[in-house]
Amino acid sequence: MGGKSLGKHSQTQPGAGGNRGKDHARRQPRRPLLRFQEEVYTYEDVERQSNRAARALGHQLGLQPGQPVGVLLPNEPTYVWTWLALAKLGCPMACLNCNVRGQALRHALAAARITLLLASLDLQAAVEEVLPALQHDGIRVFYLSSTSPTPGVEALLPTIKAASDEPLPSHHRAGTTASSKAMYIYTSGTTGLPKAAVITEKKLMMVASLGRLCGLRPDDVIYTTLPLYHSAGLLIGVGGCFEVGATCVLRAKFSASQFWDDCRRYNVSVIQYVGELMRYLCNTPKRPNDREHGVRMALGNGLRAEVWKEFLQRFGPISICEFYGATEGNAGFINYTGKIGAVGRANMFLKSFAPFELIKYNVEADEPVRDERGLCIRVRPGESGLLVIKITKNTPFHGYAGDSQKTEKKILRDVLVKGDAFFNSGDLLMIDHEKFVYFQDRVGDTFRWKGENVATTEVEATLAMVDFIQEVNVYGVSVPGCFGDHGDLQAVQRQPRQRRLQPQCHQRPPLLPRRQEEILRALEPRHLRRHPGHEAQPVEEGTTPGSPRWPRGTNCLRAISKNNLGLIGQFSHPLRSFFNGVGARGG
């Protein structure tokens, strides 16, 4: 939804990524497709490597069309040719978040009915943690590496290198249509467990065409620091390059201090972002060469107006192409006019292609407002409303794999007339009198953290593992001076039964999954020293050297995360000790 046609080919050709890569490999074989550190991979290189991988997976491992495969890889070129190899076989790829551990990882695999997992050797610890459970579930696991130190896990790279790089016969994709499943991309669920959003071939192609709609050209070099297990990095970034024949510079992780140096080093012309990324860049120390770069366009989402203005003032007249959309959603917006703060503009064309409405929403009751007929009520221009998009043939909603209940929960019925069905975005938007669309807020039990939706219940479940916490409640709040919503935490300490409880607080719970480690690390109170004005009163009693000072005997905790890191509030002494212990061990 952005006012531009998607183009006929984007709606009719399944497997556009693989087909486009093959076309570009034939027309411009020496054109760089990927740059990663000092490595350069041309379109021909990636095409041949994906052919080898497809043959190894199909012939040696016996993969059949339609069989989903889990991929647990960091940002690296291997991710791209693995994706293309699976696409050539007609196998949907489950893009697993490489930070997910333990039960959450096992749940993600089960949701998509994965029987084969391809993992990076760099994630050996994550694999070994769940390997017995995966073997019990009948899931075969392979490292995409030359050797394997893990019993029961084979290294697949020697088999791939020995395979032919000739193109695969077309019969592998003979049954693939525009409605076939192309991949699963995981989003955070309100239960804390990831949900596998179904991405069809048609949707994949439409999302990959977003860059072209915003003006991405064949001579562009796009810089992608976003994780490839999300749709922005993989489909818009890498997929966008396939669409037009551009070059993608991959970085393993985002670095604010190295960002512009990389842009100059690789002659980057287009950057990808989420809102937090732009704020991090604006928060870096100013340099004389801030405007010395070749970046002409930034493509992303979640950019607040104040950061937008500051970014342009500091780094120069870069064209910002802001978009809005959910991974599992059935439509979105594109701001191709450059209107600061807007995510798009409403018009009759959009309404006819993807009928959407902003309806009145009762935030306290967490439900839409309905009239005496039981139907939803449209908001007026300038009012915030819940975005709902009608489910039609043009804008289908495919839901979540293996979870019909959560799929049904995202469908809002009887919106305008009895019997209709709309996708519930869970977001409040506003359309002004000039038809510009603005994101306002999220509803429900999630908040934004480092560009991802985090379930409040996930944080609650993590803190509930601490035996001296009796009850936890977490909810999203707006924090003045911070970007987006952050977690607001309330917890009640259990009454101590024995004095031995307190020393145990310095120990992390055994086998704490990495995702939970990150949550605890984000809530670690030593960062309080960075934020003047916190509510804790300095007292000598009950403190430890080098830590904030806290009153003894505080049984109630109320804390607000500051800039995704620190806390403002009062902690009980045992809880402070536990968090300080986590910080000391976790870095």
Question: Which range has the worst mean pLDDT, 71-85, 176-190, 530-544?
Answer: 530-544
* Per-residue pLDDT at 454 exceeds 60: yes
**Bigger pLDDT: 456 or 570?**
456
Shared domain check, 197 and 155: yes
What rounded mean pLDDT belongs to the chain? 81
pLDDT (0 to 100) of residue 498: 39
> Residue 352: in which H helix or E strand, if any?
helix 348-353
Separation of alpha carbons 389 and 354, rounded Å: 7
Shared domain check, 185 and 142: yes
Q: How many residues does the chain have?
A: 587
pLDDT (0 to 100) of residue 192: 65
pLDDT (0 to 100) of residue 15: 53
Shared domain check, 301 and 234: yes
* Per-residue pLDDT at 549 exceeds 80: no
pLDDT tens digits, residue range 469-528?
Answer: 766 777 666 665 555 555 554 554 444 443 333 333 333 333 445 555 555 555 544 333
Query: Do residues 96 and 229 lie in contact, with contact meaning Cβ atoms separated by under 8 Å?
Result: yes
Assigned domain for 333 exists? no
CB atoms near residue 332 (< 10 Å): 22
Separation of alpha carbons 221 and 25, rounded Å: 17
Residue type, 103: Q
pLDDT tens digits, residue range 219-267?
Answer: 999 999 999 999 999 999 999 999 999 999 999 999 999 999 999 999 9
pLDDT (0 to 100) of residue 481: 54
Assigned domain for 90 exists? yes
Shared domain check, 166 and 86: yes
* Per-residue pLDDT at 365 exceeds 80: yes
Assigned domain for 239 exists? yes
Q: For residue 75, what pLDDT band results from cuts at 50, 70 and 90? A: very high
- 567-587 average pLDDT score: 34
- 9-18 average pLDDT score: 45
Assigned domain for 2 exists? no
> Residue 406: in which H helix or E strand, if any?
helix 404-409
Q: For residue 448, what pLDDT band results from cuts at 50, 70 and 90? A: low
* Per-residue pLDDT at 560 exceeds 80: no
pTM: 0.77
Residue finishing a domain among 440, 456, 479:
440
pLDDT (0 to 100) of residue 253: 94
Q: For residue 544, what pLDDT band results from cuts at 50, 70 and 90? A: very low
pLDDT (0 to 100) of residue 18: 58
Residue pointed to by tokens 């075969």: 140
* Count of alpha carbons within 13 angstroms of residue 69, beta-carbon side: 28
Going from the C-alpha of 303 to that of each of 230, 444, 557, the distances in angstroms are 18, 21, 32
Query: Do residues 300 and 232 lie in contact, with contact meaning Cβ atoms separated by under 8 Å?
Result: yes
**Bigger pLDDT: 586 or 190?**
190
* Angle between helical axes of 102-111 and 124-136 (0-180°, round to 10): 60
- 436-461 average pLDDT score: 72
Residue finishing a domain among 379, 414, 440:
440
**Bigger pLDDT: 313 or 473?**
313
CB atoms near residue 162 (< 10 Å): 11
Q: What SS3 state is found at 426?
A: strand
- 175-182 average pLDDT score: 93
Query: Do residues 378 and 384 lie in contact, with contact meaning Cβ atoms separated by under 8 Å?
Result: no
pLDDT (0 to 100) of residue 27: 79
Q: For residue 70, what pLDDT band results from cuts at 50, 70 and 90? A: very high
Shared domain check, 204 and 273: yes
Shared domain check, 462 and 427: no
Number of domains in the chain: 3
Shared domain check, 476 and 425: no
Which are the contacts of 174, defined by CB distance < 8 A and separation ≥ 6?
65
Residue 542 structural domain:
446-586
pLDDT (0 to 100) of residue 517: 54
Which are the contacts of 204, defined by CB distance < 8 A and separation ≥ 6?
16, 17, 182, 183, 235, 239
Shared domain check, 256 and 167: yes
**Bigger pLDDT: 190 or 356?**
356
Provide the CATH number for the domain around residue 320.
Answer: 3.40.50.12780
**Bigger pLDDT: 175 or 341?**
341
pLDDT (0 to 100) of residue 464: 66
- 322-348 average pLDDT score: 93
Provide the CATH number for the domain around residue 416.
Answer: 2.30.38.10
Residue finishing a domain among 291, 324, 357:
324
Assigned domain for 1 exists? no
Going from the C-alpha of 143 to that of each of 121, 123, 272, 535, the distances in angstroms are 6, 9, 29, 49
pLDDT (0 to 100) of residue 514: 52
pLDDT (0 to 100) of residue 26: 75
Shared domain check, 432 and 464: no
pLDDT tens digits, residue range 372-397?
Answer: 999 999 999 999 999 999 999 999 99
Residue % of the chain over a pLDDT of 70 = 72
Separation of alpha carbons 460 and 489, rounded Å: 9
Q: For residue 441, what pLDDT band results from cuts at 50, 70 and 90? A: confident
**Bigger pLDDT: 387 or 463?**
387
Query: Do residues 486 and 479 lie in contact, with contact meaning Cβ atoms separated by under 8 Å?
Result: yes
Shared domain check, 188 and 249: yes
Helices (H), 193-304: 201-208, 210-213, 231, 239-244, 259-265, 275-283
**Bigger pLDDT: 165 or 532?**
165
CB atoms near residue 537 (< 10 Å): 9
Assigned domain for 3 exists? no
Residue % of the chain over a pLDDT of 90 = 64
- 19-40 average pLDDT score: 84
Assigned domain for 19 exists? yes
Separation of alpha carbons 153 and 131, rounded Å: 9
Assigned domain for 543 exists? yes
pLDDT (0 to 100) of residue 316: 96
Residue type, 283: N
Shared domain check, 404 and 270: no
CB atoms near residue 370 (< 10 Å): 15
- 70-75 average pLDDT score: 98
Helices (H), 163-244: 201-208, 210-213, 231, 239-244
pLDDT (0 to 100) of residue 502: 34
Shared domain check, 361 and 314: no
pLDDT (0 to 100) of residue 451: 56
**Bigger pLDDT: 78 or 461?**
78
